[in-house]
Amino acid sequence: MGTPILEMSQISKSFNGIKVLDKVHFELEKGEVHALMGGNGAGKSTLMKILTGVYELDEGQIKIAGSDVQIHNTTDAESHGVSMIFQEFSLIPTLTVAENIFLGREPKKAFGLIDDKKSVARTKELLDELNVDIKPDDIVADLGVGYWQMTEIAKALSKETKILIMDEPTSSLTKRETEVLFAFIDRLKNKGISIIYISHRMDEIFQICDRITIMGDGRHIITAKTSELDMDSVIQHIAGKNMEKFEWKDRKRVSNGSVVLQVKNLKTNNRVNGVDFELHQGEVLGIAGLMGSGRTETMRALFGIDPLTGGDIYISGKKATIRSPKDAINNGLALIPEDRRVQGLVLEHQVMDNILLPSLSKITKVLVNDKKGKQISEEWVKKLNIKTDSIYKTSRLLSGGNQQKIVFAKWLANSPDIIMLDEPTIGIDIRAKSEIIDMVRDLADDGKSILLVSSEMPELLAVSDRILVFHDGKVVKQFLREEISSEEDLQHAIQGF
C-alpha cells in the first residue's frame, strides 16, 4: 500500500462544550471501500461533515494524498476532490438530470450565456461511463429513487471526485437497485476512486467493503480488514455486548382478539388496487412485498394522506371516515412513516415539542411547558435511549438515528390503539434495532394492534403473528407465522409473482 489518499488524525470536535469527537483517527487507501460504522450518535456523520467542510475541526490534522490540507468550507473540500452524497438528496426534482448535475456550475458560452449543449453532452458522457440508462434531459421527478442516487453520483464525478462519501445510501433503494449501486461502486473503485461507506446494514458491509472502522461515543474503536472480522465481532464492537439474533419469541398472544381494523377493497390512485385484510387486537400483522407493491401506499391511505377512490375501513366493527391524518388520529391510528426525518419531524423544534406534538389535544397546550409534558418527554427519551443532552435540544442537532427515535416517541406517547410502522429500523443501529423489536412485542402484549411493513425478513419473522404478502396493490398471500419455516420461504412467497 502506498501513501493513503486520506489521513485524518487526532480529530476533536465539541458543540457547546460537549465533545462529540475525541482524537479520532481515520485512514483511507486509494481505490478502497472503507465502512464507517458505530451506534447512533457515535460521530460518523460529524467526522464526515468535517471532511466535507460543513463543520470545522477544533483539533487535528487532515492529509490528502500525503499533503496537509485545511478545510474551512465546502468549496475547500471540493477543491481537494472530496464529495458527499447525503441521505437527503440535494437534487431539484423539477429540473433535468443535466441541469441538476451542473447546477450553479453551468458551462458558459461567450457573453455568459449558459451552454446547454455542453452540459448535456458532458452529462451523457458521465452517464455512459457509469453505464446508467437515463438520459440527460430526463426530469428528475419522473425517475425512481434509485436513479436519483445515480444522478447524485454522476454529479459527484463531474467534480473530479477522488474521495466519495456515502451516508446510508441504500436506505431508500430496493434490493435490485442496491445490487446496481454495488456494481457501480465496483466500477468507481476500478477507476481509483476511494469510498467511505456509512451503513447500519451488516450484510452490505461484508459484501462490498475492504476495511471497517468502528466508532463509539466519539472515539475510534477499531480499524480492520473485513476479512479479519465477522459479524459477531462487529456487533460486539458496536453494541459493547453480544446481541442475540432476532428470533421468534412466543408471546402471551391475545389469541383470537376481536377485529379492530377491517379493510375492504381499499383503492387509491396511488398504487392501492383493492386491499382486503383484518387486524386483531394484540396482533402483529407483518406486511411483506417488493418496493412498489403498495405497502407504504396502503398505510398512507389508512392514515388519510392519500384519498380513497374506493373501499371501506371499519374500526372495531364501525365504518370509519378517514379523510385526513387528524381523522386517523381520532380513530386511534398512528403512522410511523418510512421517511421519518422528512415526514415525521419538525427539525427546528426542540426534542420535547416534537414528542408532544400529536398529544397536544390530550394534555392541552397550556400544560405542554409544564411538568407533565417535561415528564412525558423525559420518560420517552429514557425508554428509547435517545441520545441528547437535554429535551430542549433542537431536533436538527441530533444524529440521524436519534431523530428517528423521536418520531417513535412522538407517536407512542399518544398511546394509539392501532400502530402502523413502516420500515421501523431503517437507519437505526443494531442495538436499538433489537430494542425496537422488543418494543413491538411489548406493545402487542399490552393489547395494541400493529401493522408492520418491513423489507428485513429476520425482523418480520421475529415478531409477526401473521404475514400478508402484497403485490401490485393487493394482498396476494397470507401466512400464519408458524407456516413459514425460513427466510427463504418468505422470500420465495414475495418473489413468486
- The set of residues, in sequence order, having a beta carbon less than 8 Å from that of 454 and lying 6+ positions away, is 286, 287, 288, 421, 423, 424, 425, 460
> Which cell is 43 given?
460521530
20 binds, among Mg ion, ligand ATP, none (CB under 5 to 8 A by kind): ligand ATP
Q: Are 215 and 36 spatial neighbours (Cβ–Cβ below 8 Å)?
A: yes
Apex 204 CA angle, 202 and 207, nearest 5: 115
Provide the CA 29 distance to its chain's centre, in angstroms: 27
Nearer to ligand ATP, 20 or 62 (CB): 20
46 binds, among Mg ion, ligand ATP, none (CB under 5 to 8 A by kind): ligand ATP
Q: Report, in Å, the least distance between residue 166 CB and ligand ATP.
A: 13
Q: Report, in Å, the least distance between residue 398 CB and ligand ATP.
A: 4
Provide the CA 209 distance to its chain's centre, in angstroms: 20
Return the residues of window 70-129 that contact ligand ATP according to CB under 6 A: none
With contacts defined by CB under 5 A, name the span among 10-18, 29-37, 42-50, 254-262 that binds Mg ion: 42-50
Count residues contacting ligand ATP (CB under 6 A)? 18
Q: Is residue 46 within the footprint of ligand ATP (CB under 6 A)?
A: yes
Among positions 20, 45, 91, 155, the unique one binding Mg ion when judged by CB under 5 A:
45
CA distances from 423 to 238, 343, 459, 462, 466 (A): 22, 14, 10, 14, 17
Distance CA 52, CA 76 (A): 8
Distance CA 439, CA 238 (A): 21
Q: Report, in Å, the least distance between residue 66 CB and Mg ion.
A: 29
With contacts defined by CB under 6 A, name the span among 123-131, 145-153, 399-407, 475-483 that binds ligand ATP: 399-407
Nearer to ligand ATP, 91 or 430 (CB): 430
Q: Is residue 239 within the footprint of ligand ATP (CB under 6 A)?
A: no
**Closest by CA position to 368, among listed 342, 349, 345:** 349
Nearer to Mg ion, 88 or 244 (CB): 88
Based on the number of CB atoms within 10 Å of its own CB, is 484 exposed (0-12), middle (13-18) or buried (19 or more)? buried
Q: Report, in Å, the least distance between residue 45 CB and Mg ion.
A: 3
With contacts defined by CB under 5 A, name the span among 169-177, 246-254, 269-277, 396-404 that binds Mg ion: 396-404
- Please name the amino acid found at residue 9: S
Helix (H) or strand (E) holding 430: helix 430-445
Q: Is residue 216 within the footprint of ligand ATP (CB under 6 A)?
A: no
Nearer to ligand ATP, 20 or 334 (CB): 20
Point out which residues bind ligand ATP (CB under 6 A): 15, 20, 38, 40-46, 387, 397-402, 429
The residues of the shown chain that bind Mg ion, judged by CB under 5 A, are 45, 399-400
